[in-house]
Structure 1
Amino acid sequence: MEFDPSWIVLGLPLAFALGWFASRLDLRQLREDSRRAPKAYFKGLNYLLNEQQDQAIDAFIEAVQNDPDTTELHFALGNLFRRRGEYNRAVRVHEHLLSRGDLGRADRERAQHALALDFLKAGLLDRAEDALRRLERTPFEGQARMALLAIYERSRDWPQASEIARRMQAAGQGDFSTRQAHYLCEQALAHAARGELEPARELLREAVATAPQAARARIELARLAQRTGDAATACRELEDLAAVAPAALPLAAALWVEAAGAVQQEEQAHALLVRQYEQMPALDLLQAIVELERAMAPAAAAAAGRQWWLRHLEREPSLVAATRWLEAEPLGGEPARTRVLQALERASKPLTRYRCAACGFEARQHFWQCPGCQSWDSYPARRVEEL
């Protein structure tokens, strides 16, 4: 049978028509798929903007099922789970992303960071630490180090915190010298609590060298010297404190009274505290001045103390100072005076607390790190009434 060339003429248009029809079917299916996924995606965004998180999660799950290869949908879904506190589901989403072999480097690093945040929010600090350490030499390295620093501070792992702070400072992420000094002080206090006074002293000296303008290490050195019976060294440390960090002197005023009395240096301490009080009136400084005058001249101490409290009231109104003046005023022991004093004591007691400047947490004692927000040096050295 001979081949008829006319079949070629008839077959070519037919093959072209069939190919065109098949391509139209594929394009139609592709359009339908692409329309379906963005529709669910935008529906989820709409729910999210209206703070309807349950419906948003359902929409994003539908979008992920329609297009399981879309990483952005996975990130959006994982972040939603984390915001809702569903940390297990967020972890599964981000671990699924990390298990994909076709994931690019940037998305893989982003997923690793999101997974670390999941563990951190869930309170799984050991797993969060491991996930954060895998972000070294990535664009998330700075954020990871800050999170690691917070973990080590919460767990009171001061050597590890010190190492991370040193690396952050070397990388130009800020000045962490004051925080490094706090870490050394914390380690020194742990040694002192175990009776290891010499290692504690060495760490405090290192803290002074690390942050010369910081007050805490000098105060702790003076307290340690007073504990070991070396009041003269305690006085010298407090004189250095007055020179480099005078604003923190109210925190050590009572300690200075004790140390000065032990070495008969009341007049020297009194003169320095008076000069400091004239520059910055503070209740703790004034109380220390009154106690030093009581030690130097007991006979005239009561009258001098009343005058000091009255002078303070002339400079600025103070319920605490008014209470102290009334206590020293010789008005007799009539019941009315006693009741007034009790009322004043109760009203002024909250005013003698310290308040965190970062979160407002109040406490009877001064903290170098706020128990509420974990901020360092957020407690001023002055009482609530003086702020």
Structure 2
Amino acid sequence: MDSDVVAGLGWILLGLPVAFVLGWFASRFDLRQGRLENRQAPKAYFRGLNFLLNEQQDQAIDAFIEAVQNDPDTSELHFALGNLFRRRGEYERAVRVHQHLLSRGDLGHSDRERAQHALALDYLKAGLLDRAEEALRRLESTPYEEQARLALLAIYERSRDWEQAATITERLTASGQGDFTVRRAHYLCEQAVARSAAGDPDGASGLLQQAVASAPGAPRPRIELALLERRRGRDAEAFDALLQLDALAPAALPLVARVLADSAIATGRTTEASALLTARYEASPSLDLLDAIVLLERGDPGSDDEARHWYLRHLEREPSLVAAAKWLAGETLAHEDLHPPIQKALDQAAKPLLRYRCAACGFEAQQHFWQCPGCQTWDSYPTKRVEEL
């Protein structure tokens, strides 16, 4: 055999063990490096969890950022970081985190849907309703569909897009998420109020008739219908609408007791109205019912004293600063020169007691709202005032 060939084979045989040894060392180095990195990522992650449990959000964010840098492919770390940013009100940073997740081609289908939902929540919390609406619509036919529809419903109610809100409630009803019949009646009433304000009473009346037909037991459509008829000078129709209200939802009568009394006076049906209001007052005393009864009795000549005695009867049943102030307003005092400042002080003290209070959040207002301005809850205002609760 040629000497050069023999020498070459010798070098190959000598090199094989050397290459094996070098490869083994390299693999061990990579393994150690990988173990070190894997130790660092969980360590930062658990440190972040510890900070989070101790409500140290700044330190938790720093730890999660470190964990993400050590292991940028871990989606769970991104979700944790994005949620932390949203909770702190740093919506722009939360959006960037979730947009980065959605841009990854290797993201699984379920994680992609989760990231889309998180992005929609970011926009919603930031008040970017148009972007939130677009993001939520992309969640149709996903596990987040029902949550997305409820969020869309809140957006449409907030922006007063009543037609879109009605469409969403139809889908929610069809999917078994509840009965939104009364809510849809509110939407029709809101549209009717807008029509009436725009000078279209006939259009408003048509919408209210739809609301009455769709939710016969709901008080608002009949109340709005009575108010509309009264504004149009059709007191007989307004009175009849309120009689129907009393038959179907008598608890709501205090809200329009004054309207009922005014319509009765205009149509000469004061006896009927007085009997109705008195019966409702005896069953459930109310300051608004009381005022309407007094108004009707004062319409009869020489009956002013009898009318004011209703306030004394009310005081016998339950203490009421409001009733006391109204009774005192018609009395002649021994020191009549002191009456005006005393009356003014009583009226001022009684004002807060005449407010309505939301049963859901406690928001108080001088007028009754069908949807609370504070918490956006529907039908959360009782028909009675603060003093009567």
Decide: shared fold, TM above 0.5.
yes
Give CA deviations for 1:66-121 in whole Å, capped at 9, x if unaligned. Answer: 11100000011111111122111111110000011111111000000110111111
What is the CA–CA distance in structure 1 between the aligned matches of 2:119 and 2:302, rounded to whole Å? 71
Separation in 2, partners of 1:195, 1:215: 24
| Equivalent residue runs for 1:9-20 within 5 Å | none
Supply the AA of the counterpart residue of 2:302.
Answer: A
Does 2:317 align with 1:315?
yes
> 2:373 matched to which residue of 1?
371
Amino acid at match of 1:304: E
Q: CA deviation at 1:293?
A: 1.0
Deviation at 1:381, TM superposition (A): 0.9
What is the SS of the residue equivalent to 1:378? coil
Distance 1:366 1:234 in 2: 20
Percentage of matched positions with identical amino acids: 68
Q: Distance in 2 between the 1:176 and 1:17 partners?
A: 75
Please give the per-residue CA displacement for 1:250-300, whole angstroms capped at 9, x wherever unaligned: 1000100111111100000111111111111000000000111111x2202
User: Shift of the alpha carbon at 1:340?
Assistant: 2.1
Structure 1, 275-284 or 202-211: larger mean CA deviation: 202-211
Corresponding residue number in structure 2 for 1:83: 87
Deviations 1:188-220 (A, max 9, x none): 011101111111111101111222111111001
Over residues 352-379 of structure 1, what are the superposed CA-to-partner deviations in whole Å (9 max), with x where a residue is unaligned? 1111111111111111111111111111
**Is the contact between residue 305 and residue 328 of structure 1 (CA under 8 Å) also seen in structure 2?**
no
How far the C-alpha of 1:14 sits from its partner, in A, is 7.8
Name 1:140's counterpart in structure 2.
Answer: 144
Residues 32-64 of structure 1, C-alpha deviations (whole Å, 9 max, x = no match): 111010011111112222222222211111111
Give the partner amino acid of 2:69.
Q
Shift of 1:9: 11
Residue 188 of structure 2: aligned partner: 184
Aligned to 2:176: 172
Give the letter for the 2:252 counterpart.
A
Structure 2 CA distance, aligned partners of 1:211 and 1:13? Answer: 89
Correspondent of 1:160 among 159, 164, 172: 164
Q: Which of 310, 320, 328 is the equivalent residue of 1:326?
A: 328
The answer to whether 1:265 aligns with 2:269 is: yes
Q: 1:40 aligns with which of 36, 44, 55?
A: 44
Is residue 214 of structure 1 aligned with residue 250 of structure 2?
no
**Structure 1 CA distance for aligned equivalents of residues 174 and 146 of structure 2:** 12
Deviation at 1:18, TM superposition (A): 6.2
CA distances 1:217-240 after superposition (whole Å, capped 9, x unpaired):
100101111122221111111011
Cross-structure match for 1:352: 354
Letter in 1 for 2:353: L
The equivalences for 1:195-344 within 5 A come to 195-295=199-299, 297-300=300-303, 302-331=304-333, 334-344=336-346
Structure 1 unaligned regions, length at least 5: none
Distance in structure 2 (CA, Å) of the matches to 1:279 and 1:360: 27
Q: Which residue of 1 aligns with 2:135?
A: 131
Alignment correspondent of 1:66:
70
Aligned pairs for 1:88-103 (under 5 A) are 88-103=92-107
CA RMSD in angstroms comes to 2.2
SS of 1:236's equivalent? helix
Residue 331 of structure 1 and its aligned partner are, at CA, apart by 3.4
Q: Distance in 2 between matches of 1:188 and 1:357?
A: 26
Matched AA of 1:306 = R
The runs of 5 or more residues in structure 2 that have no matched partner are: none
2: CA distance between counterparts of 1:6 and 1:21? 24
Contact 1:231 1:263 in 2 (8 A): yes
**Separation of aligned partners in 1, 2:334 and 2:245:** 41
SS of residue paired to 1:298: coil
* Number of positions where the alignment pairs a residue of Structure 1 with one of Structure 2: 385
TM-score of the pair, normalised by structure 1: 0.94
Q: State the shift of 1:333 in Å.
A: 6.7
